[in-house]
Structure formats: structure tokens, C-alpha cells
A and B are shown apart, each in its own frame.
Chain A
């Protein structure tokens, strides 16, 4: 029925790529019904569900987590608004930004998942292949295109790779999940901690410049973690797709399909030895290059992004700069290589954001960002780029109104915490809440202001698997259960010295700290560092020297750190300290309880 009542559409940039397929929603709804009627076996239903981006939920078959893929983290205003609506309609009124640039909706009734998919198609988003044994969200540094250390913008290559593999028959039944990470530069990336990591490089031969990548293979975090190996000095851009296909084909052919706990590609590389694997990749690539049809190419859209010249109607008059602005500016903004422009990073708590905040973010992208959209980052964060310097104070005021102006995003005061016992079947502890508690404490103590801590990180997983990426943290934790006679208490294994930059290494285990002693233990490490450091030391460099045997301070070794922290491991009796035996966010006494994991499904 036609109506005189029509609301004008909001302006703003709209997505360039439609990742969605409408028929998948309908198919999902039908399949759920068949599963409920017992016409589909649970195992095949689980595979199907994961392939479509719906993950299981802690201790129940009634709910799912829907993981929405954002290739290169790009998210447009209308997509943010859609997610806001979907989080209220079908989830808990908040959404979660993951460490792999996805946005997740938790505690969705399984029967409603298809409705979410249907709505996502209206804004060009998909959850397809966000879980399961497929090529997962293709990541790209959120600073790609604006980073002053990058050689060129890798974003179009990340997007093209995502486009090529999404729904590609090559990647529908891999032995296990498979991850691509593009970066801008060494510092902002995570290229050695993934199946395929890529750093853009420009080579010049005979005066001609050529684009290409440094490619790292076989890295990854998990129950057993490995650092990736560099394939060759330089991989020219025309070999990018051939190399990707070659690696995927080898993994598909030789990857372990039986031992589910050991079937990521890094185990294959480890078993075979790097040199043999490297040779295999180079040979396979030659075959791929010779046999692929010429029409199989990456669809790389290198047209420069449209940067609008935003004219602010009511610009800041410079008189009323809100309190806290300079603190926020120091620790949440990044000066772009494009003069006069900044990228800003939001300090979320463990990646959680409310529906109303998502809506505000959409408006902020429209009003303040010259590129007109946002990008999710690697640390459960969101970046808005292309902000004019003169707009920063006004933008800060807007963020304040929305509760999005917490300082510290680009510092140690922004810990990562996996979902833990809030929703994950495998979790042993509430790592998610612990990350929030640490952040609140750090901001209270203004530790985000401390330059010595700036380049350090805290990352927490709720179990020995590494969704919280604890092994690449300066201070990392993974959860477990401790026991005092008959009583259990939550405890974390502490590791230190992990990093994911050019000198990537895994953290070294120190000792187990009870959950309720984690915050004082972190503060004790910082206190020791402060007393001990040489003038140029940061916490990160001080720890690095200790664990690599090059300490020039009083703290010489892991054993010394352990000694300092031992008092925190003392276990009180349950009558003396009941709180010790309860995890964060839960008053009742602690028991480890896990369901079946789906990582390996």
C-alpha cells in the first residue's frame, strides 16, 4: 500500500561489496527445522551450522553465537545500525568485537539465526564461513592505508582474497580452519601468528618498482603455538593468489583429518619440517600457475578511496575543550601519514559495545570520518579514521556523551579477554570479566598515562586454547581450576614476554596465580619494573631482556620474577576468604565445567 508517509533515507557511505546471499538464510531456517525434527544427524548439522557462522553456546543447544565477518574490518554506518537493531532484537542488546575483526552476537536462539542472516543481506554482510573448517575472516591491519610505516595499502588485496575464497569450493571442507592476516607494517600486524601472514613490500628492479609481499606460513596460537616462517624474500603481487591457492591445496591434501586437536596447518609444517614444506609450496605454486585458467585472478580494486571534505556546521570554537581530552588524545589517537588527519581508537571493555553505542558510531562515521566508515581492529577495538585534527575535541565530546570516551585504547590499559564462561563451552574461567576488571583498575590508577607501559599488552584466555591470544602478550594469562583439598578456585597460568611484532616470540610460563590475585600480581610486576628499570627501559623491553637472558637489572631471570610473585599464590582457607573461591561475576563457589568444543568440528 502506498503511503504519503515516507522517511528520507540517511545519507552516508554505503558498502561497495555485497558479501551476502539471500538464499542462505532460508536454507538455514529449513535446515534448523529438519534438525529439530531429527531428520539431520547432530554432527552434520553442526558442520552446516558452523559453515554458516553460528557457533555453539555454553551448556545449551538452544542458543548460538552468530559471528559476522568483516573482511579487513570494514564496517559502514548502515551496517552498524543494522547490527544495533539485531543485537536488541535477537541477542543481548550488546555486540562483541572479536580479535579477528568480526562482530559477534551472543545468546541468539538457534531458531532466530536465519532471521539475523536475512537482515544481514539487507546491508551486504554475511556470517558464511566465519566458523568451521574454512577460510575465516581475512584480516588486515586497521591502519592499512594510513600507517606511516607501510609501503602500500594492503586493504584491496585483503578484500580481494576474501572475495576469492568466500564460498569457493576450494575451501568448503578443509581439515581445519584457515586464517589470512594482512598487515600494514611489522609493528601493527600479527603476520607470524597465523596460517598465512602478509606484509606489503615494494621492490625495485632496474629502476622499476614492483609491489609484492613478505609471506609467513605455518604460524598460529593454540593449545600448541608456532611462529610462522617466511616463504621467500619477496612474493610479487601476481603470485599472491597462486601462493594462497598452493598453500591451501597442500593443507587440504596433507592436513590431518583424524587428530582434531592437532590439525591446524602449523602442525603439518612442524611435522614435515619447514624446508620440506617450503619446497612443496614452491612446487605446488608452479603447478597452480601453469594450470589455473587465466581468468582466475584476484579482483583487486585499487581505486583510491574517496575522501570527502567534511565541512562542520558547528565546529568546535576551541573554548570548551572537555576534561580528559588531552589524556584521551595521547592514548587513543594515531597520526596518519596524511597530514592533518588522525585515526582514533575506541577503548571498549573486552570488545563489548551496546546497541545505542553502535548507532552513535554510525552517526560519528558519517559526520567526522572523511572516508565515512569504521574499521574493527585486532584488539577487540574499533577505529575511526580520517578525522581532521580540528575535529578531535568535538568528536571527543560526542564519545563522552555515549560512554565511548574511555582513555587508553592504544596502551596496556586495554586488555584482551576471550568470551570465557560468558558463552564458551570450553572456558574454565571468566576471562572476559577479568579483562574488564583489569582495565577499570588500570584506568583508575591512570596507568594508561605511563609511557613505560604504552607498548606492553595484557591478554587473557579462559582456557589453554588461545582465543585470548595470551601467548603474544607482554603479560598473558590462561584460565584453569585450582584445588585446595575439596574446594576449587579459579586460577590463571601467567606467562610473560610474548610479542607479535618483528621479533615475534611466545610468552614464557612463570607460575599459576589465583584469579582473585591476578590484579595485584600485575601491579607487583609493574612496581618491580619501576624500581629496577634502566632509564630507557619500557616494561616490554625489560621483560624481553629477562626472558632472553640479557637482563642488565636486578631481576635476572624468570626464577626471580617467580620469587616476587610467590606470595600471591598462597591459598587461604575457604572460611577465611570465601571470595577467593569464587570467579569474577559469580558469587557461587567455583567448579570447572566444560562442554564439547566446536573448534575441531
Chain B
């Protein structure tokens, strides 16, 4: 896969001028209708998640005018997590050129960059399907893999949720850790240092998970990809499924950490 995982705003703008990109806005339909990045199409994450069977998703992708060669960029207004999940799904289908916009739509707008309310007219295209199981983890796979020393499982939920319960052996990197103050991901050197501090070396396999549908952990997937980490898998059904399957869970015991929260 030769995808450049993150694209900066200026590069996207020049691609847009050349009409050589398909931009996917993954926000809700009503938000998209108000305004969006010019020429972008709408694929609300909820639509995709209502049934993410590859056959169905393939049809959706084709109807957005995407073929195997179309460069795709996704964005959202939810710190990049929803866009990540859509981008990852495309990659899983076998699309080779999909990137996340480096910022949210809110940040884009606050910089005074171009927006538009018009919807582009697009024709359906044909896209092949070559699933990429190497970027996805199932519960059974994770359960076995986590015993392996060369596998690191990362929980991307907030700290208090992690303390309350998590998959045994997982470490916690809350999704907020991944962002900088004005971009959905920190600069590469910072991300690298963060992982180094945590003892995660380049050659381990990483499996990311979050609460339910693989959005926060999707962002973590792209954080790792942005620093060229080779072997990353998304446990896309995440902790919700893990719990439903009655798989083992651990808790940080003997402390009432929830009472420190002002929420």
C-alpha cells in the first residue's frame, strides 16, 4: 500500500484545483448540506456503519465515483476519528490511495479556507475488491496475538474508561494524546517519541481498539501509519464486542478515580 496517510491542507487545495482527488466528507448529511470543502461528496459514517458488509460498502464507494486509481481524502469534524474509520474501510476493501486531511472541518473553516454548499454531480465508477485482512483484527485473533511478546495492544479510549475496564495486557493511549492543538495528529517526531517512551518499537505488531466501532482506534491506526509503522491492525469491533463475547477484562482496583473527574 503506497498511501500517504495524511495530507496537508495546501496539498489538498492544489489537488482540488487539478480535479484529481475525491474528497469525502463523513459528517452528517445536514452538516454537509450547509457547507463543506468544495467538490467533496458526503458519506456519513452512520450510513456506512449501519451495514459495513464489504459488498455493500463497495457499492457505496463506486457510487461516489471512486475507482481503483482515484486518490481519496477523508475529513470530519470529530478530531479525525470518523474520517479515519471511513478511510480505513476503503483501505480494507483494497483501495490503495486514501489519506486523511490533517485537520478537521472546523479548523479548516477557522483558517478561512474555501467552503461551498454545492454538491458535485458524479457518475458511478467501477472499483475492484481485494480485502486486506492484514489490517484488521478480530476478537479471536486478538485474544491469541496478545500473548505474543511482539504484539502491543493499544486502547485508545479515555483514561478513566480504560482504568475501569480494559483488555488484559493492553496499554492506554487516549485518542486525545494523538492530536496536537491544531491538527488531528501530532508532528511525526512527537508521535515517534511518545511511542518510544512507551517502549513500542518499530518492529512490533500493533493492534488498536476503542469503545465500539473503531473510530478512536482508527485515528490511532493512522497515527501509527503516519510514522511509517509497518504492522498495524484495527480491532474494528472493539471493546463492545469483546465484552459481549465475555472475553477476559481487567480493572484498575482499589482506587476511586472517577471521583476526580469534574464532568
Residues of A within 8 A of B (CB): 1, 3-7, 29, 32-33, 36, 57-60, 81, 85, 88-94, 96, 106-107, 109, 111-112, 114-115, 348-349, 352-354, 357, 419-423, 430, 432-433, 436, 583-586, 593
Contacts and interface: CB of A to CB of B under 8 A. Distances in A.
A585 B256 contact: yes
Interface of B: 8-10, 110-111, 113, 158-160, 163, 171-172, 174, 176-177, 179, 181-182, 193-194, 197-199, 252-263
B253 A421 contact: no
Given A3-B9, A5-B10, A88-B176, A94 B163 contact: no
Contacts of B199: 36, 111
B263 A354 contact: yes
A422 B8 contact: no
B198 A92 contact: no
Nearest to A112: B197
B262 A5 contact: no
Given A5-B9, A58-B255, A60-B252, A419 B176 contact: no
Contacts, number: 114
Contacts of A32: 197
A59 B255 CA distance: 8
A297 B259 CA distance: 45
A586 B164 CA distance: 12
Contacts of B253: 59
A593 B255 CA distance: 10
B234 to A, nearest CB: 21
Contacts of A354: 261-263
Given A93-B261, A112-B198, 16 more contacts: A5-B111, A90-B174, A91-B159, A92-B261, A94-B263, A106-B257, A107-B163, A115-B193, A115-B194, A348-B262, A349-B262, A432-B260, A433-B256, A433-B259, A583-B256, A585-B259
A282 B198 CA distance: 52
Nearest to A6: B111
A88 B259 contact: no
Most buried by A among B159, B254, B258, B263: B159
Nearest to B179: A89
B263 A93 contact: yes
Nearest to B108: A5
A420 B8 CA distance: 46
B158 A93 contact: yes
A348 B261 CA distance: 11
A338 B263 CA distance: 36
26 contacts: A3-B9, A6-B111, A7-B110, A7-B111, A7-B182, A29-B197, A59-B253, A81-B181, A85-B181, A89-B176, A91-B159, A92-B160, A92-B260, A93-B158, A106-B257, A107-B163, A109-B171, A109-B172, A111-B199, A115-B193, A352-B260, A352-B261, A352-B262, A353-B262, A354-B261, A423-B257
Contacts of A349: 262
Contact of A107 (B159, B179, B194): B159
Contact of B177 (A6, A58, A89, A352): A89
B52 to A, nearest CB: 29
Contacts of A419: 260
Nearest to A37: B199
A545 B111 CA distance: 64
Contact of A4 (B10, B181, B254): B10
B10 A421 contact: no
Contacts of A111: 197-199
A94 B261 contact: yes
Contact of B255 (A85, A94, A115, A423): A423
Given A60-B252, A420-B256, A92 B158 contact: yes
A459 B94 CA distance: 61
A109 B173 CA distance: 9
B254 A430 contact: no
A421 B256 contact: yes
